[in-house]
Amino acid sequence: MTAPLRIAVVAALPQTAPPLVEALRSLGHEVPVVIGHRRPADWPGHVLGEQDLPRGVDLVVPARTDSLPALLRAYAPDVAVSYGYPRKLPAEAVTAPRLGTVNCHPSDLPAYRGPNPVGWAVRNGEHRIGVTWHRMDAELDTGNILARTTIPLDDTLWSFTGVNTKVLDTATALLPGVLQRLVDGEPGEPQPERAGTWAGFFDQGYATVDWSADAHHIHTQVRAWNIAGHHPRVQGPVALIDGARWRLRRTTLHQPPAGTGRRVPCGSGHLWVLAADPVDVPAGHA
């Protein structure tokens, strides 16, 4: 078993940082600080706050990423563990901890590097996704591999939170081995030489639902957008129904119970809309 380490957590969401802190502390390690991220002006949900963390764990929200190296050095961690942080860490921050920084990425690297790996996996019809712990370096999702596995991406998963729970459970089970390799000074394995793929945010071209398309294509589009979660600039998938625009939240290819959902004809087949939010809210109803 790895001797107790002083570990800084780099994570910005309440769905990720608290369980990661809990997992590290349950392994006997000290977590003095979580490095969070400032709430974007258009962010629709809750972001990590000090009330989400156990007593004795500081929450630091840097004004700029270039202040991260000094902040990490101030806490003198042995290791930094990054999970789902929305900004690229400066090279000086990555090397600030004594044993370096590791990151968990939900793909089988080098496939689906970038901020939206699971959304693209759904879009491309994948039935499994990777869970990869890698050393962080000066680039994005390119460092040596310390542990990897795969998990099912079944069609019952419809939200970022649902996927994140499965990824995080798998990732924390791999953590003891990852930390031991750092302590032993192992560099890890270089990523496979096959060409990497980039999983950026979906663009405007994928944000609008075209009812003339195949029903399965639209169903996948809805699921991919909802698993991808919040987009900083583009919101989707938006569909026109009875002259009004709706952001689709849940659909099914199979007829639901009577009185449930809205049946919409598509280019081939039918789709039932089970949940949607209005995009155009009348004045005075916001």
Q: How far is CA 258 from CA 21, 37, 263, in A?
A: 45, 45, 11
Q: How confident is the model at residue 286 (pLDDT cuts 50, 70, 90)?
A: very low
Range(s) within the chain of domains with CATH label 3.40.50.170: 6-183
% pLDDT > 90, the chain: 83
- Give per-residue pLDDT as tens, 167-219: 999 999 999 999 999 999 999 999 999 888 999 999 999 999 999 999 999 99
Distance CA 216, CA 234 (A): 22
Q: Which CATH class is domain 6-183?
A: alpha beta
d(CA 10, CA 132): 16
Alpha helices per DSSP H over 131-214:
160-183
Q: Which contacts qualify for 70-75: CB closer than 8 Å, 24 or more apart?
A: 71/35, 72/8, 72/35, 72/96, 72/97, 75/6, 75/8, 75/32, 75/33
Delimiting residues of CATH 3.10.25.10 domain(s) in the chain: 204-278
Give the CA distances from residue 239 to residues 95, 126, 148, 195, 235, in Å, rounded to whole numbers and listed in that order. Answer: 46, 24, 38, 35, 11
Q: What is the pLDDT of residue 194?
A: 87
Contact criterion met (CB below 8 Å) for 157 and 250: no
Q: What letter would DSSP give residue 232?
A: S
Alpha-carbon span 141 to 264, nearest angstrom? 40
Could you tell me which CATH number the domain at 204-278 has? 3.10.25.10
pLDDT tens sequence across 28-58: 999 999 999 887 666 666 778 889 999 999 9
Element (H, E) at 31: strand 30-35
Residue 235, pLDDT score:
86
Q: Would you say 62 and 68 are in contact if contact means Cβ atoms under 8 Å apart?
A: yes
